[in-house]
Chain A
Amino acid sequence: MSTSARLATLVIFVFAVFVAVPVLIGLTHRTDFYYTLSSVALLAIASGGVWLTFYIGRINIGQGAYALMGGYVSAILVVRYGVSFWITLPLAGAFCAAASVLIGLPILRLRGVYFAMVTLVLTEVVRLLALALPITNGAKGMVSLPPPGPISLFGLTLVPSFDTFAERNEAFYYLSVAVMCVCFAALYRLVHSRVGRLFVALQQNEELASSMGLNVPALRVLAYSISSFFGGIGGAIFAAIAQSVYPSSFTVADSVNFMLNCFLGGLGFVFGPMLGTLVLYFGWDLLFQAGQYQLLIYSGVMIALMLVLPNGLLSIRPLNFRKRVRPLIWRRS
């Protein structure tokens, strides 16, 4: 795409999420969509992190661990120490990033399904920790979190307290999509930077990359910690919107879903996870009238999509002239 076309797409997208969607919701009175779409935005942020680990060639089924961690960090700081939600948000992300450096250093040496499995186990470990640690309030979870307060700078209120909104979820919607836009913009910028090209080198062949003088372990940990940062941010806002967090808030099923979102959207596209999350999460909601056949229809559609568009939904766009070759990357050598 040309630069102007790209800019136009961006403007249309921003207009759509910040103006068109709220106006449509206002017209149709479907205020329940504020929560659903906020969820989509937050889950998309976490999925975006997973996508980045795919980008360096790792199948990550452990994002639920960091989302849960982020939720708890924010909730504990808010409830036990009275810290403002707005400060806990970056702290939650930073905590997850720091944790992921410690965890990532040993486990990023693993590849393929081994890495996938160890991250899956990580999700379970964090859930069990949340149940066992005294600070997390164990099985009862952290409940009744206050909604985010105002942000003021030099006496000027930049963001009003969420309590003042008639429809609190509308405020959360703006927050969620704003953070989502920032995160995906950052992701896009990262992928198209020099570091991004190094990540591709990692994806294709780590040995080769290493022999060319790249610090492969550092690059891997960098990508993984950014990924976990996204997970932590998503989890923290989710705790705020739900006003609660439990050991079961993010489980293995969520970790698997984050990964599936990436597959469905398309691993080759930065915005794949966003679209994948929208279809998978929103699709389930839309099918709720199918009652007991909900799961059957949902999974049937999923299989059909996979058969028709195995490279993700975004691969359908007409600009995709790439030759259909089966690359040797990702095959067992």
Chain B
Amino acid sequence: MARTTLPFRTALFGFASAAAIALNSGPADAANKTLNVGFVGVTSGPAAAWGTSNVRSMQTLAAWLNEKGGVKIGEDDYKINVVTFDDQKDPKRAIAGMEKMAQEGIHYVVGPNVDDGAAAVRPVAEKSGIIYFPYAFPKELYTKPASNAILGMVANYQSAPAIYKYLKEKRGVKTVAFVAANESDPLSQRDGGVAAAKALGLTVVADRDTYENDTRDFTPVLTPIVKLKPDLLVLSGVAPANAPLLIRSARELGYQGLISTETAQDAKVLEEGAGDLANGFISVGGASTPEIRSKTMEEFIDRYTKMFNEYNDESNTKVYALEYIVDTLKANPKAIDNVEEYKKTIDTFSAPNLYLKGENVLRYVGMTSFGQKRQIAVPLVVNEYKDGKFQTLFVADVD
């Protein structure tokens, strides 16, 4: 098992360093100021993939920025330190995590990863003056009177209409079936997807089918749906671990139509789990495809791969949150310990987006969906999986 020796060694090393950190938790370097940025999300258990790609993106970017001497905010140079809290996908723990961040004097937190966690931490964040970047879609988090949450990705009610419209016009899709895990996030996303499909005049042939998130064999779940022969099968809010299994089961049952989802996936996982059967699978990603990715993004991927042995395509989106935090603070240094200043800057903020080829800007969006700018602008890239890689179908903007 040659591949496993390295992580094991890093594990041992990390063990020692973790002990060291526990003993000496103060800022290491007094000459340089430290900017603590928090993460509250899930890094263990069945949904570990979501939070892990977040944490690793943040750690990679922080290490990179620190290597360049830190970031200059106002007059001072800051090293960036990522403080992580594993909420185990439990809303109770998420609150504790957010309290912990407040205690550490942190004002900018990435996460939580799921709807209920994001909604649960809202009172704490508002009370303690924390801006947080959830990867969760409930609109109440981002519309007034809420004002401290900034959506870190493209929501499914923004991407679904675009995807379905494209598939309706370009691929002649007329009937759609939905299948979702029986949990809060996927069910909400399914309901959003069903509404979007109906609004486009598509016929929804199945919208009640669910599976338990720990299902390992999806053939029984998909057998009745495949019989309906829909043109498009939407895997609402599918976890990256389940996507290849669902695709494989559907194809092996003889399903001929299209399969899509509105969440980000990982090409390697699809390749290993479903192989050629995943060809044609449509999903949403960040600046993932080589066509639109810049040199900077490639270097980020390199560094990530060096640090953690393996890249995760989900990080294409998740690289952005920390970048937005740092750049917004650069634009308004007063915001470093005052989120009201941050909120003022949101409306006018604009900075070059180095992760994309060509002229692109980082800015806050969300006026259409939320009535206020509470979403970071990441390109809405719709991908099609082909032979181990994602190919861009189309790119759109969210406003």
Residues of A within 8 A of B183 (CB): 131, 139, 247-248
Query: Is there contact, CB below 8 Å, between A139 and B103?
Result: no
Query: Is there contact, CB below 8 Å, between B96 and A39?
Result: yes
Interface positions, chain B 140-164, Cβ under 8 Å from A, are 140
Within 8 Å of chain A (Cβ to Cβ): is B267? no
Within 8 Å of chain A (Cβ to Cβ): is B333? no
Query: Is there contact, CB below 8 Å, between B100 and A32?
Result: yes
Query: Is there contact, CB below 8 Å, between B88 and A292?
Result: no
A140, A254, A285, A294: the one within 8 Å of B100 (CB):
A285
Query: Is there contact, CB below 8 Å, between A32 and B18?
Result: no
Minimum Cβ distance to chain A for residue B88 (Å) = 7
Query: Is there contact, CB below 8 Å, between A248 and B90?
Result: yes
Within 8 Å of chain A (Cβ to Cβ): is B95? yes
Selected interface stretch from A176-184, A212-220, A238-246, A261-269:
A238-246
Number of A-B contacts (CB under 8 A): 107
Interface positions, chain A 132-187, Cβ under 8 Å from B, are 138-141, 143, 168-169
Encoded as 1 (CB less than 8 Å from any A CB) or 0, chain B from 113 to 149 comes to 0111001101110010000000000101000000000
Query: Is there contact, CB below 8 Å, between A242 and B187?
Result: no
Residues of A within 8 A of B22 (CB): 289-290
Encoded as 1 (CB less than 8 Å from any B CB) or 0, chain A from 284 to 301 comes to 110011111111110000
Residues of B within 8 A of A244 (CB): 91, 116, 119-120
Query: Is there contact, CB below 8 Å, between A140 and B188?
Result: yes
Known: A143-B119, A249-B116. A289 touches B21 (CB 8 A): yes
Query: Is there contact, CB below 8 Å, between B14 and A293?
Result: yes
Residues of B within 8 A of A35 (CB): 95-96, 99, 124
Closest B residue, CB atoms, query A132: B182
Query: Is there contact, CB below 8 Å, between A288 and B184?
Result: no
User: Interface on A for B, CB 8 Å cutoff?
Assistant: 30-32, 35-36, 39, 128, 131, 138-141, 143, 168-169, 238, 242-244, 246-249, 251, 253-254, 284-285, 288-297
- A139 and B183 CA atoms in complex are apart in Å by 7
A36, A242, A290, A297: the one within 8 Å of B91 (CB):
A242
Residues of B within 8 A of A290 (CB): 18, 21-22
Query: Is there contact, CB below 8 Å, between A248 and B123?
Result: no
Residues of A within 8 A of B44 (CB): 294-295
Query: Is there contact, CB below 8 Å, between A32 and B91?
Result: no
Minimum Cβ distance to chain B for residue A246 (Å) = 4
Number of interface residues of B (CB under 8 A): 43
Interface positions, chain B 179-203, Cβ under 8 Å from A, are 182-185, 187-188
Minimum Cβ distance to chain A for residue B122 (Å) = 8
Minimum Cβ distance to chain B for residue A257 (Å) = 10
Main secondary structure of the interface of B (DSSP, over half): helix
A138, A242, A254: the one within 8 Å of B120 (CB):
A242
Known: A32-B99, A290-B22. A141 touches B184 (CB 8 A): yes
Residues of A within 8 A of B394 (CB): none
Closest B residue, CB atoms, query A30: B103
24 contacts between A and B (CB under 8 A): A32-B96, A32-B100, A32-B102, A36-B96, A39-B92, A128-B182, A131-B183, A131-B187, A139-B115, A139-B184, A140-B115, A143-B122, A242-B95, A246-B119, A249-B116, A253-B90, A288-B97, A291-B14, A291-B84, A292-B14, A293-B11, A293-B18, A294-B86, A297-B18
- A304 and B22 CA atoms in complex are apart in Å by 20
Within 8 Å of chain A (Cβ to Cβ): is B348? no
Query: Is there contact, CB below 8 Å, between A238 and B88?
Result: no
Closest A residue, CB atoms, query B44: A295
Query: Is there contact, CB below 8 Å, between A249 and B91?
Result: yes
Known: A140-B184, A247-B184. A288 touches B14 (CB 8 A): no
Query: Is there contact, CB below 8 Å, between A243 and B123?
Result: yes
Closest A residue, CB atoms, query B15: A293
Interface centre among A138, A246, A297 (most CB of B within 10 A): A246
Closest A residue, CB atoms, query B127: A168
Minimum Cβ distance to chain B for residue A278 (Å) = 14
Residues of A within 8 A of B15 (CB): 293, 296
Within 8 Å of chain A (Cβ to Cβ): is B368? no
